[in-house]
Amino acid sequence: MKRLRCAVIGAGYLGRFHAQKYSAIQQCDLIGVVDPDPIARGRIAAELGVAVFADHRELLGGTDAVSVATPTVTHHAVARDFLQSGAHVLVEKPITTTEVEARELIALAADGGRVLQVGHLERFNPVILAVAGELVNPRFIESNRLAPFKPRGTDVSVVLDLMIHDIDLIQNIVHSPIVSIDAAGGPVFTDEIDIANARIRFENGCVANVTASRISLKSERKLRVFQTDAYLSIDLQQKLLTVVRRPALIEEGVLPKVDVEERSFEQGDALLAEIESFLDAIERGRPPVVSGEDGLRALLTATRIAELVG
């Protein structure tokens, strides 16, 4: 099979990791990395020995697939250019800054028969992959995503920077329309929202309580799911899963003995798995794990929460 010609647009924090993964994958050739910053270009060229460019338009028509890891405000323009040139696109989350932009990318990919995948990385977390079959009709979900303050990512609110990961996971788990959202939060260290909490009610009765902060003293990524027969505690950071199941028999007046199962997982490489999944979707002509529609759905919910926090 013909090796895919791949490129990475953006050589910053995330883009550098994307470039490293592509350079290590056998079924593709990393033909270029783009960044307007000469220092970033020089660093990636020295590290990977790859051709570097200042403008993504220099690669239009010469690539089969690209990762777009540029600032969010440029996602639409860069991804649009490559889709129009016939390339498949993996765009980092959030897919774009507006619904209109996202819908245009989705339409372009559909019209051109191209894969448009959105970089919601937690979908490839080993714990999430392992627990998928365990999640049946959840009634209540609680998520906490906490991080110490870092200047990176502060061009958008914490809702679009961090909370959107859990929004995507939760909506993918619940599979039901949202009927209402209550939200609170505000800026602390930046002009954008730095801490936020949202209570999301779904049409099927499930409620999700979602918290994200980028001004915490500790780092935490946890998801707790309560359903009819079990409680699942999912530590996305430590790759730990605890499942507490309801016993088969409950005697009246007797304290039930619950079944507790604990599992740990290798750290794995979620970004490599994500990129390999993207390339596999291209080669097999199948829909990506995280579609443009999934990215739009998460964006719409995140935007609504950010507006409520306002």
Domain chopping of the chain, boundaries? 4-114, 123-267+300-309
Tell me the sheet residues that pair with 128. Answer: none
* Domain 123-267+300-309 annotated CATH 3.40.50.300: no
Does residue 102 surpass a pLDDT of 90?
Answer: yes
Confidence at residue 250, expressed as pLDDT on a 0 to 100 scale: 67
Does residue 69 surpass a pLDDT of 90?
Answer: yes
Confidence at residue 155, expressed as pLDDT on a 0 to 100 scale: 74
Confidence at residue 257, expressed as pLDDT on a 0 to 100 scale: 74
Who has greater pLDDT, 245 or 46?
Answer: 46
pLDDT band at 301 (very low <50, low <70, confident <90, very high): very high
| Closest among 260, 266, 264 to 246, alpha carbons compared | 260
pLDDT band at 248 (very low <50, low <70, confident <90, very high): low
Who has greater pLDDT, 248 or 158?
Answer: 158
Average pLDDT, the chain: 95
Does residue 302 surpass a pLDDT of 70?
Answer: yes
pLDDT digits (tens, 9 = 90+) for 10-20: 999 999 999 99
Return the beta strands (E) in 58-193 as ranges. 65-68, 88-92, 116-119, 138-146, 178-186
Residues 275-310 as b or e (16 or more Cβ within 10 Å = b): bbbbbebbeeeeebbbbbbbbbbbbebbbbbbeebe
Task: Provide the token pair at 264.
Answer: 């740990």
CB distance 160 to 96 below 8 Å: no
pLDDT digits (tens, 9 = 90+) for 210-245: 999 999 999 999 999 999 889 999 999 999 999 998
Confidence at residue 153, expressed as pLDDT on a 0 to 100 scale: 65
* Domain 4-114 annotated CATH 3.40.50.2000: no
The residue-averaged pLDDT of 88-108 equals 97
Does residue 252 surpass a pLDDT of 80?
Answer: no
Does residue 247 surpass a pLDDT of 80?
Answer: no
Residue matched to tokens 């939200």:
183
| Closest among 210, 228, 268 to 134, alpha carbons compared | 228
Confidence at residue 253, expressed as pLDDT on a 0 to 100 scale: 66
Tell me the sheet residues that pair with 117. Answer: 90, 291
Least confident among 105-109, 125-129, 183-187, 244-248: 244-248
Q: Rounded to the nearest 5°, which phi and psi values hold at 139?
A: -105, -30
Does residue 67 surpass a pLDDT of 80?
Answer: yes
Report the C-alpha gap between 288 and 284 in whole angstroms. 10
Confidence at residue 66, expressed as pLDDT on a 0 to 100 scale: 98
